[in-house]
């Protein structure tokens, strides 16, 4: 009898232990499954951190980091999914851009690509977005062909394109019988910019008397400027990007003293510092931190100063921020689902608020419709470079470029 009781008690204990083990196993399995549902979303950012456009790359990366912070309210999460980003330096070389993009796609297994600073780098990477079926947000490259002849359905662009610049630039100076010469760097950014400007200016009745292209790495523009002087235009419209700008030589060769007015897009702050001789010039701006009047831009200016030693956001900082906001807003709508076809359907026609106001991805070519600014360069007390001062905002509808894809 005693042995039977002991055996019964042992059997009960074994059953309880097994039940406990099974219960724990079930709990662990459920917990593990829940964790697996929350994947890390990765973004690969391609930017010129060295080379001729390194300042643009750094602005984009800083803006992107702040954009993720703003759009996720500091959590760096969407629907419980962590967001991480990996930055790769394209060195402003298309062949390097391809290598770095391939690394991001294959080794880092990113869900999105963002970039790049150079139109040449970006055009080289576009086919990879299609091959690997990943959405690429183009920022800040502007060549029309990116959302034109070389576009594929995986490409979205928060950056404005050359035609948007052209509409703004032409509106400032073109008119019936006005003679205009152009100066631009000899690569896709310059050629696309001039082609778009010509189309807009000719439509307004202007005559393009010279198209002059210079080596993008040039430090001596004497021969280019002499050709412009010989053409005797009413205006010289300059399309330029990079630190090696032609402004000092335009001044040294007294282009304006010959009765030729200069017009261009207002560049970043470093280049503005070389444009003292252009005070009074009317042109357009993609962004200057005092031009937009909205809460997101106010946040950007404040947080940028806090994070980057009192510096204000520069020309392409809000573009990086806009690219980050676009990704986060799309992920909010998909509840963290990164399926590419779902993301594309979500982003087509999507409107989202940025430091430049509301942007909308046009369904036909995924180009973001956005605000640009008609400006005048003026001397402002306490600022040691010419400041772009607002004449008027150019609305997204007003600057909408042709669909070219």
How many Å apart are CA 194 and CA 163, to the nearest integer?
9
Return the H-helix or E-strand segment holding 358: strand 357-361
Task: List own/partner pairs for 336-343 with CB under 8 A and 24 or more apart.
Answer: 336/39, 336/41, 336/78, 336/79, 336/80, 336/81, 338/39, 338/41, 338/111, 338/112, 340/133, 340/134, 340/135, 340/154, 343/135
- 260 near 233, Cβ under 8 Å? yes
Sketch the domain layout of the chain as residue ranges: 41-160+291-370, 163-285+377-394
If pLDDT is split at 50, 70 and 90, which confidence band does 243 have? Answer: low
What pLDDT, on a 0 to 100 scale, did the predictor assign at position 244? 79
Backbone angles phi, psi at 290, to 5 degrees: -95, -5
Q: Which residue has the higher pLDDT, 23 or 339?
A: 339
What pLDDT, on a 0 to 100 scale, did the predictor assign at position 166? 87
41-160+291-370 placed in CATH 3.40.50.2300: yes
- Structure letter (DSSP) for residue 145: G
Q: What pLDDT, in 10s, does the model give residues 106-143?
A: 999 999 999 999 999 999 999 999 999 999 999 999 98
- 213 near 236, Cβ under 8 Å? no
Q: What pLDDT, in 10s, does the model give residues 45-54?
A: 999 999 889 9
Q: Which of 182, 250, 172 is nearest to 212 (CA)?
A: 182
Over residues 170-175, the mean pLDDT reads: 86
Identical fold between 41-160+291-370 and 163-285+377-394: yes
- 94 near 117, Cβ under 8 Å? no
Backbone angles phi, psi at 266, to 5 degrees: -65, 125
pLDDT of 20 higher than 60: no
Beta bridge partners of 86: 44
For domain 163-285+377-394, which CATH number applies: 3.40.50.360, 3.10.20.440, 3.40.50.2300, 3.40.718.10? 3.40.50.2300
Q: Which of 18, 33, 70 is nearest to 318 (CA)?
A: 70
- 294 near 34, Cβ under 8 Å? no
Mean pLDDT of all residues belonging to the chain? 90
Tell me the DSSP string of 239-296. Answer: ---SSS-SHHHHHHTTTGGGTPEEEEEE--HHHHTT-GGGTT-EEEES--TTS--SHH
- Structure letter (DSSP) for residue 201: H
How many Å apart are CA 266 and CA 143, to the nearest integer?
18
Peptide bond into 311 cis (omega under 30): no
Q: What pLDDT, in 10s, does the model give residues 187-231?
A: 888 898 899 899 999 999 999 999 999 998 888 999 999 999 999
Q: What tokens does 84 get?
A: 């991480």
Residues with Cβ within 8 Å of 337's Cβ and at least 6 positions away in sequence, in order, are 331, 343
Return the H-helix or E-strand segment holding 343: helix 340-347
Neighbours of 22 (CB within 10 A): 10
Backbone angles phi, psi at 167, to 5 degrees: -60, -45
Over residues 234-257, the mean pLDDT reads: 88
pLDDT of 265 higher than 60: yes
């Amino acid at each position: 009898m005693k042995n039977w009781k002991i055996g019964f008690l042992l059997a009960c204990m074994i059953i309880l232990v097994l039940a406990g083990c099974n219960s724990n196993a079930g709990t662990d399995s459920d917990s593990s499954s829940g964790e697996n549902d929350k994947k890390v979303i990765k973004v690969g950012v391609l930017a010129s951190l060295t080379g001729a456009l390194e300042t643009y790359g750094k602005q984009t990366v800083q803006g992107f980091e702040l954009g993720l912070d703003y759009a996720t309210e500091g959590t760096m999460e969407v629907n419980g999914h962590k967001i991480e980003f990996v930055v790769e330096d394209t060195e402003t070389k298309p062949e390097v851009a391809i290598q770095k993009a391939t690394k991001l796609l294959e080794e880092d297994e990113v869900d999105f690509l963002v970039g790049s600073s150079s139109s040449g780098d970006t055009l080289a990477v576009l086919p990879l977005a299609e091959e690997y079926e990943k959405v690429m947000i183009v920022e800040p490259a502007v060549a029309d062909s990116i959302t034109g002849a070389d576009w594929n359905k995986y490409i979205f662009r928060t950056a404005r394109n050359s035609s948007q610049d052209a509409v703004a630039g032409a509106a400032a100076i073109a008119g019936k019988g006005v003679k205009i010469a152009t100066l631009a760097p000899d690569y896709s950014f310059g050629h696309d910019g001039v082609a778009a400007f010509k189309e807009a200016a000719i439509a307004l009745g202007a005559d393009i008397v010279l198209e002059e292209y210079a080596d993008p790495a040039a430090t001596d523009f004497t021969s280019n400027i002499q050709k412009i002087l010989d053409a005797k235009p009413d205006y010289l419209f300059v399309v330029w990007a990079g630190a090696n700008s032609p402004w000092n030589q335009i001044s040294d060769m007294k282009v304006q003293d010959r009765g030729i007015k200069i017009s261009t897009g207002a560049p970043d702050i470093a280049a503005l510092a070389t444009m003292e001789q252009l005070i009074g010039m009317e042109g357009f701006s993609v962004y200057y931190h005092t031009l937009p009047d909205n809460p997101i831009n106010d946040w950007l200016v404040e947080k940028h100063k806090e994070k980057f030693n009192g510096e204000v956001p520069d020309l392409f900082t809000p573009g990086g921020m806009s690219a980050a906001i676009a990704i986060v807003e799309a992920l909010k709508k998909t509840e963290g689902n990164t399926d590419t076809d779902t993301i594309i359907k979500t982003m087509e026609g999507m409107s989202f608020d940025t430091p430049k106001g509301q942007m909308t991805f046009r369904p036909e070519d995924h180009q973001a419709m956005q605000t640009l600014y008609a400006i005048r360069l003026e001397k402002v007390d306490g600022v040691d470079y010419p400041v772009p001062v607002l004449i008027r905002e150019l609305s997204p509808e007003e600057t909408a470029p042709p669909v070219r894809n």
